[in-house]
Structure 1
């Protein structure tokens, strides 16, 4: 059982779903050069968030319980704002809009509107101010970093 995870400059990683969620997430963090403290998750091609970053007891649960074999997933970074309980999502696949135009829009909506993210929490007691998250944006590539350094522009 395997799945494909897309990230970076159109990179793909074949992952074994018969491993623990904790191991899978640590492997993906290393592959995409994330920091160990970063939260990452997966988005399937239809736009469903897998919520692997919220799995309780991820050291004992298999990834196959959450992911479907032979499917493609997009790696995303999850940024949780402690003060507002808002969550922002940033694609770790560069040019997401080029590969998946609908997913780029959906990711931006998920980041901007907590009610779309958690429809079961709607109600008069749960109304919160709109999140002030910035929309998902592509990560700078090594080439764009070098060109900005040559121009003398700060990153």
Structure 2
């Protein structure tokens, strides 16, 4: 079992995730030359963060969180002071050219308040049955139609 982690100027490494999460994160920092002070995470091919920094304290193996033979992009977590959400920076150069959908997803994760504003600005009007065309009650329609004289 292995995973591929992409970083730098089109570098990639193979890692065996059959180890504790903390050991995998430490190995990633060593092989990618990130210092121990750098918070890192992995972004999968669907644009989901694995949240390695949250999992480093647990004793679970990384295979519980990572998929076999999957590719991941190494991401740096930039934590701000106060109540501001964390920002994410790709450690794979030119992510927007290589994987534009992942770059877009990473930007949305870094700016969640922008995503919420755009969601709130597009409000769909929900029609009630009274507002829809041809939805007048059956009694009204029947009363307005002339009765047949054939009876």
Q: Normalising by structure 1, what TM-score?
A: 0.70
Residue equivalent to 1:61? 60
Residue equivalent to 2:49? 49
SS in 1 for 2:13: strand
Structure 2 unaligned runs (5+)?
A: 117-151
CA contact (8 A) 2:22 2:56 kept: no
SS in 2 for 1:19: coil
Residue equivalent to 1:3? 3
- C-alpha offsets along residues 35-68 of structure 1, whole Å, 9 cap, x if unaligned? 101100000011011111111634x211000000
CA–CA distance in structure 2, aligned partners of residues 86 and 69 of structure 1: 30
After superposition, the Cα gap between the structure-2 partners of 1:116 and 1:31, relative to the gap in structure 1 and judged at 3 Å, is farther
Residue equivalent to 2:15? 15
CA contact (8 A) 2:42 2:72 kept: yes
Q: How does 1:18-97 map to 2 (within 5 A)?
A: 18-55=18-55, 57-58=57-58, 60-97=59-96
Structure 1 unaligned runs (5+)?
A: 118-155
After superposition, the Cα gap between the structure-2 partners of 1:29 and 1:56, relative to the gap in structure 1 and judged at 3 Å, is closer
- C-alpha offsets along residues 8-48 of structure 1, whole Å, 9 cap, x if unaligned? 11111101011111111111111221110110000001101
- C-alpha offsets along residues 82-107 of structure 1, whole Å, 9 cap, x if unaligned? 21241100000001011100111111
CA–CA distance in structure 1, aligned partners of residues 113 and 56 of structure 2: 21
Greater C-alpha Rg: 2
Count of residue pairs brought into register by the alignment? 116
After superposition, the Cα gap between the structure-2 partners of 1:105 and 1:55, relative to the gap in structure 1 and judged at 3 Å, is same
CA–CA distance in structure 1, aligned partners of residues 24 and 41 of structure 2: 10
CA contact (8 A) 1:39 1:77 kept: yes
After superposition, the Cα gap between the structure-2 partners of 1:22 and 1:114, relative to the gap in structure 1 and judged at 3 Å, is farther
CA–CA distance in structure 1, aligned partners of residues 5 and 108 of structure 2: 22
Give the aligned CA root-mean-square deviation in angstroms: 1.8
After superposition, the Cα gap between the structure-2 partners of 1:65 and 1:116, relative to the gap in structure 1 and judged at 3 Å, is farther
Q: Normalising by structure 2, what TM-score?
A: 0.72
